[in-house]
Amino acid sequence: MARSRGIDETIGLYRQARRDAVSLWTAKWHLLKAGQEKFSKSSKEFQAIDRLCCWGPAERIRSLADGSACRFADRHGDDVFRAEVDGTQLNAVTKWFYGTLPKQIRDMDFNRIKRFSVSELLLLDDVNLRAQAFITSVGALPLMDPTRLRTEVVKWNSFYAKARETVIKCSPACQGFMWLVNERKLPHYIAVEIAGMCGDA
């Protein structure tokens, strides 16, 4: 039996949310790797990064996306979620947001100098950009609790601001550069290029 156009359009929303989740998880693991390499696990800098990457609001927003998908499957059947998305075969609704996202990076090159370079600090901003995209796509899903999502968004923004402030404070070489990004609205991609040209201060 052919699926209705409405169901296909809704599955398209879940596809976008999954793509944004993959993008965010990839960025989170690169940031976490940089944090592990430059800071001790007991430092306030690493703890702020760890909270953002491993057990903060992003995990609960992912849970909201998964819950929405499961409720949609309850109404329309599991078959609507059996699909291939960007080369990954997803055989169950529970695989869209759990078990198939990028894995944590284990290959480390430790150099715990207790500060970030500009390009490493920009990883933090990149994670936030990707998180905001994921938040937007999750907010577009059906059968979503908007109040719970808003609560997690407020927490995410707070955790991100705290992590950024903490890391910048211990990386004085980055402070002037990040002023250009924040106050002069230097585009992120240009900031990355300048960081490379300047020897990644």
pLDDT digits (tens, 9 = 90+) for 17-66: 999 999 999 999 999 999 999 999 999 999 999 999 998 899 999 999 99
Judge whether residue 177 has pLDDT over 70.
no
DSSP conformational letter for 142: S
Q: Which residue has the higher pLDDT, 117 or 63?
A: 63
Measured at the CA of 161, the angle between CA 160 and CA 167, to 5 degrees, comes to 90
Domain ranges for the chain, please list them.
5-101+114-197
Residues 58-110: tens digit of each pLDDT? 999 999 999 999 999 999 999 999 999 999 999 999 999 999 999 988 877 77
Judge whether residue 14 has pLDDT over 60.
yes
Say if residues 141 and 14 touch (Cβ distance below 8 Å): yes
Q: Report the distance separating Cα 189 and Cα 201, nearest Å.
A: 16
Judge whether residue 194 has pLDDT over 80.
no
Say if residues 56 and 25 touch (Cβ distance below 8 Å): no
Judge whether residue 181 has pLDDT over 50.
yes
Measured at the CA of 97, the angle between CA 94 and CA 101, to 5 degrees, comes to 120
Judge whether residue 2 has pLDDT over 50.
no
Q: Report the distance separating Cα 69 and Cα 88, nearest Å.
A: 17
Judge whether residue 116 has pLDDT over 80.
yes
Name which of 20, 3, 149, 26 is nearest 96 in CA terms. 20
Q: What's the confidence (pLDDT) of residue 198?
A: 55
Judge whether residue 10 has pLDDT over 80.
yes
Q: Which residue has the higher pLDDT, 115 or 198?
A: 115
Helix (H, G, I), strand (E, B) or coil at 89: strand
Q: What's the confidence (pLDDT) of residue 201?
A: 52
pLDDT averaged over every residue in the chain: 88
Q: Which residue has the higher pLDDT, 194 or 129?
A: 129
Say if residues 19 and 85 touch (Cβ distance below 8 Å): yes
Q: What's the confidence (pLDDT) of residue 15?
A: 98
Q: Which residue has the higher pLDDT, 190 or 36?
A: 36
Measured at the CA of 177, the angle between CA 174 and CA 179, to 5 degrees, comes to 110
Q: In this structure, what is the dihedral angle of CA atoms 21, 43, 155, 188, given to the nearest 10 degrees?
A: -60
Q: Report the distance separating Cα 175 and Cα 178, nearest Å.
A: 5
